[in-house]
């Protein structure tokens, strides 16, 4: 059912981040900067309670949540929207739904062969990222 996401993770691939940013309405200049970043995730998991920190040289973003508990997320420093957000388990995967102005918005994390996978969704765009454990 659950999985252990604890750790520091470095990005190794980032497919269609551009399309995801366009769907979020991020301006051209910001996309050009964001598109070359190599973000790092630091995940602190205590059972069903999570803190996910995304670090980069440009901006950082932190979210914290408990599985199954909806909360108001403000995507400060990203697209600066408010969402009603909930994350649930699905066979070890973390499935997030971000209900708000943008349709079909959310993300899914899973671990496969010691890699951290992330799919970011907004409208018709899907960005696929893979992270490895930081050495």
Residues that bind ligand YOG (CB under 6 A): 21, 24, 26, 30, 34, 37, 39, 41, 52, 54, 56, 58-61, 63, 78-79, 107, 118, 120
Which of residues 3 and 26 has its CB atom nearest to ligand YOG in the complex? 26
Q: What value, to the nearest 5°, has the Cα angle with vertex 79 and ends 75 and 84?
A: 45
Round to whole Å and give the CA distance between 64 and 1: 20
Which of residues 27 and 113 has its CB atom nearest to ligand YOG in the complex? 27
CB of 79 vs ligand YOG, minimal distance in Å: 5
CB of 34 vs ligand YOG, minimal distance in Å: 4
CB of 1 vs ligand YOG, minimal distance in Å: 20
CB of 125 vs ligand YOG, minimal distance in Å: 11
Which of residues 91 and 108 has its CB atom nearest to ligand YOG in the complex? 108
């Amino acid at each position: 059912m659950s999985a252990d996401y604890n750790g520091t993770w470095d990005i190794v691939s980032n497919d269609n981040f551009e399309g995801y940013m366009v769907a979020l309405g991020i301006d051209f200049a910001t996309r050009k900067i964001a598109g070359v970043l190599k973000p790092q995730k630091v995940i602190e998991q205590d059972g069903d309670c999570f803190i996910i920190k995304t670090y980069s040289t440009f901006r950082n973003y932190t979210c914290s949540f408990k599985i199954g508990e909806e909360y108001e997320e403000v995507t400060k420093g990203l697209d600066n929207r408010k969402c009603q957000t909930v994350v649930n388990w699905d066979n070890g995967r973390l499935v997030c739904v971000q209900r708000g102005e943008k349709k079909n918005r959310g993300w899914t994390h899973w671990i496969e062969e010691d890699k951290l996978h992330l799919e970011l969704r907004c409208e018709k765009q899907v960005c696929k990222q893979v992270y490895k454990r930081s050495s």
